[in-house]
Structure 1
Amino acid sequence: MPSFDIVSEVDLHTFTNALDQCNRVIETRFDFKGVDASFERDGLAATMFADAEFQLTQMEDMLRGSLVKNKIDPKAMEVGDIESRGKQVKQRVTMKNGLESDLCRKIVKLVKDSKIKVQSQIQGDQVRITGKKRDDLQQVMALLRAEDLEQPLQFTNFRD
């Protein structure tokens, strides 16, 4: 019986590459000359350091652009509040990894409401969709791509 899994994952290596690219851009940009600004990675989170708040917003835009170039959906970003520490300001950016149970239930409800002949079950931080026909599974994928969910989805482990 054909099936696939719905997950939401961010590749750590790709995320690190995106942050490294942003750090290189900061070193070469004229408006950041003489400014102590940088990105520091801690797992699937990053902290942006700068001298002023407007620089943090520019750095956030840089990060979004770099994530898009590295094929990571910027919807996975969760930007924290700006904190002040001495002369510098910092802001934490966390990447959402894995589906939360509320989002899993929302996905299952969407699939059931669509009346497509498939079964869906929650398995930890992912949702497995099983059906008799491959076309039904592709309809579910199209339905979820068209839906505006708060997190990017990937469809993995497609079995025929």
Structure 2
Amino acid sequence: MPTFDVSSELDIQEVRNAVDQAAREITSRYDFKNTGTEVELGDGSITLRSSTEDRLAAARQVLEEKLVRRKVSLRGVSYGSVVEASGATVRQEAALAAGISADKARELNKFIKGLGFKGVSSQTQSGQIRVSGKKRDVLQEVITALKEADFGIPLEFGNFRD
């Protein structure tokens, strides 16, 4: 019986490269001079720091440009609120997507069942969804339907087996 997996992961190496490029650009640009603007990659999150909120928004734009250029989906990055930090600075955390949450998994399973394809079933397995069906062509149609729908998270399809 053919199967495939649906997961939601970001390529951490590409994220690291994008953060490094953004940090390099921020240190070299004139409009960021003496603002103390920084971009750091932490464990599962990106931290943006600056002296003012408008410089923070500009740093966020630079980071997003670098992520898009590296083909990292912006759906996998969720920004927190801007927080006042010590030394008259502001800080913002951006969480990186890792796996499919239980709510999103339920939504995806419901969507797959709602497609009405005969013999197609899906089940959640530790942050990913395994979809199985009787025919390969039907599973390819499920993949196409999932790509067209917007779930707010980046979806990756892998481990396709006959």
Structure 1 length as normaliser, TM-score?
A: 0.95
Shift of 1:134: 1.3
* 4+ residue runs over 6 A deviation: none
The answer for the alignment partner of 2:133 in structure 1 is: 131
Partner SS state of residue 80, structure 2: strand
Shift of 1:35: 2.1
The answer for the alignment partner of 1:68 in structure 2 is: 68
Taking the aligned partners of 1:93 and 1:108, their CA distance within structure 2 comes to: 27
Taking the aligned partners of 2:117 and 2:21, their CA distance within structure 1 comes to: 43
Taking the aligned partners of 2:61 and 2:147, their CA distance within structure 1 comes to: 25
In percent, how many aligned pairs have the same letter?
Answer: 36
After superposition, give the CA deviation of every residue in 1:79-110 in whole Å (9 maximum; x if it has no partner): 01111122211111111110001111111111
Partner SS state of residue 78, structure 2: strand
Taking the aligned partners of 1:126 and 1:57, their CA distance within structure 2 comes to: 33
Alignment of 1:6-155 (within 5 A): 6-85=6-85, 86-117=87-118, 118-155=120-157
User: Pairwise CA RMSD of aligned residues?
Assistant: 1.1
Taking the aligned partners of 2:145 and 2:37, their CA distance within structure 1 comes to: 42
Taking the aligned partners of 1:4 and 1:147, their CA distance within structure 2 comes to: 18
Structure 2 counterpart of 1:28, one-letter code: S
Partner SS state of residue 143, structure 2: helix
Structure 1 counterpart of 2:105, one-letter code: C
Structure 1 gap ranges (5+): none
Aligned pair count reads 160
Taking the aligned partners of 2:130 and 2:27, their CA distance within structure 1 comes to: 44
